[in-house]
Amino acid sequence: MSPSMTALVVEEENKKYQRGVKHLCDNGLTKVPTKYIWPEPDRPIFTKFDKLTKPKQNLKLPIIDITELLGPNRSHVLQTIAEACENYGFFQVVNHGMEGDVSRNMIEVCKKFFELPYEERSKYMTADMSAPVRCGTSFNQSKDNVFCWRDFLKLSAHPLPDYLPYWPSSPTDFRSLAAIYAKETKDMFDKMVKAILESLEIDGDGDDAAEELKAGSQLVVVNCYPPCPQPELTLGMPPHSDYGFLTLLLQDDVEGLQIMYRDEWVTVDPIPGSFVVNVGDHLEQRRYKSVLHRVLVNSTKPRISVASLHSFPFTSVVKPSPKLTDEHNPPQYMDTDFDTFLQYISSREPKWKNFLESRKIHHIR
Ligand code: OGA
Ligand code: NI
């Protein structure tokens, strides 16, 4: 083949990958295409040796019971939240008040969305980061050299009436079920914020963070991970930390989420109907850490997860609470805002903790 012919073939192949993993799989696949093969050190299983000597052990995250949090044991639960945010950056929430039907319906209707013909889903595919609804694939499909085994649907969700008219109208019950889900997740977030601020002892008068977060942004990200013929060669999502204050993640019963714990990747055990909550970049300070996590895929079961990312309004300047900084504890990061983040991701990929690192202040002592 002439070099120009080869270039054409590569361009055609790339176009195919832009349509997403679901589309690729629907057309039959027995091997992972090169585009999705990660360099060896980044793959899920490093060596045969690791596989043989380390029994597969899942991580049981600290569990927070919301009814306990709202009862006489509040201070004890706040202590558990503080320890979880310090030691793991993650915890699981049970008895959160969301009816089982609401979360199950959300997962089911999202499954149906990804089963729609490609042409229907492609209506929402856009490179415009500010679009209220955005379908796509991989992590950052216009920048990624190696692709991830993941398709997504991102919905701006707060304030809901501003965005709901743009949400997919097919499947027919998508909008109504996703709207209930988004609203109840937002209510759960508002409760979590109060608890988190209290656990840091920065709640109460003179700190309007809770009010600002209540009026803040919510992005519902539906992740679809189709079964993968060679899951050991690829990743559903690369190591990253979440932009925002807190993420509330609903998973179906298929495991896949791994978090970095004591310098190792450990799989989080899914608890049906629970939420995995994690510290985002905006909540990181001396005590709580925004922890790296990634997603593995598997060869047999499709997996759906719904991440609800919450933060300050897009117009806010994000800066440390004055109650957490003083002469001896100066701010660790420069004040930042959403425009700075958008500029950052338009020039490179926000993998690992790159964005947060880029805002770090290097104090000279
Ligand atoms: C995310 C994320 C984990 C998962 O959407 O940011 O980390 O299990 N998702 O899908
Ligand atoms: Ni994440």
C-beta 251 within 6 A of ligand 1: yes
pLDDT in tens, 268-318: 989 989 999 999 998 888 889 999 999 999 999 999 999 999 998 888 887
Provide the pLDDT for residue 204: 74
Contact indicator for 245, 193 with CB cutoff of 8 Å: yes
> Ligand 2 centroid vs 325 CA: distance in angstroms?
28
Provide the pLDDT for residue 319: 82
Chain CA centroid to CA 166, Å: 22
C-beta 308 within 6 A of ligand 1: no
| Percentage with pLDDT > 70 across the chain | 93
| Look-up of token digits 């052990």 | 57
| Look-up of token digits 């005590």 | 287
Ligand nearest to the CA of 148: 1
Tokens of 176: 């109504």
> Ligand 1 centroid vs 247 CA: distance in angstroms?
9
Q: How far apart are CA 24 and CA 12, in angstroms?
A: 13
Pairing of strands 293-295, 133-137: unpaired
Confidence check: pLDDT of 119 > 80: yes
C-beta 270 within 6 A of ligand 1: no
Protein residue with its CA nearest to atom 6 in ligand 1: 242
- The helix (H) or strand (E) run that includes residue 212 is helix 209-214
Q: How far apart are CA 142 and CA 136, in angstroms?
A: 10
Confidence check: pLDDT of 39 > 90: yes
pLDDT in tens, 201-229: 888 765 688 888 999 999 999 999 999 99
Provide the pLDDT for residue 176: 98
| Look-up of token digits 């995995």 | 276
Site to substitute for ligand 1 among 150, 224, 293, most atoms within 8 A of C-beta: 293
Q: Which atom of ligand 1 is nearest to the CA of 293?
A: 7
Q: One-letter amino acid identity for 81?
A: I
C-beta 252 within 6 A of ligand 1: no
> Ligand 1 centroid vs 270 CA: distance in angstroms?
13
> Ligand 1 centroid vs 218 CA: distance in angstroms?
15
Contact indicator for 85, 199 with CB cutoff of 8 Å: yes
Confidence check: pLDDT of 246 > 70: yes
C-beta 257 within 6 A of ligand 1: yes
Q: How far apart are CA 225 and CA 4, in angstroms?
A: 34
Tokens of 33: 């295409």
In 3D space, the residue among 72, 237, 56, 267 whose CA is nearest the CA of residue 144 turns out to be 237
C-beta 197 within 6 A of ligand 1: no
Q: Which residues surround ligand 2, an ion (CB under 5 A)?
A: 242
Q: How far apart are CA 244 and CA 68, in angstroms?
A: 26
Q: How far apart are CA 288 and CA 100, in angstroms?
A: 30
Q: What Cα–Cα distance (Å) separates residue 100 from each residue in 97, 149, 160, 273?
A: 9, 28, 22, 6
| Mean pLDDT, the chain, integer | 89
Q: Which atom of ligand 1 is nearest to the CA of 152?
A: 5
Q: One-letter amino acid identity for 31?
A: K
Provide the pLDDT for residue 17: 92
Site to substitute for ligand 1 among 235, 249, 254, most atoms within 8 A of C-beta: 249
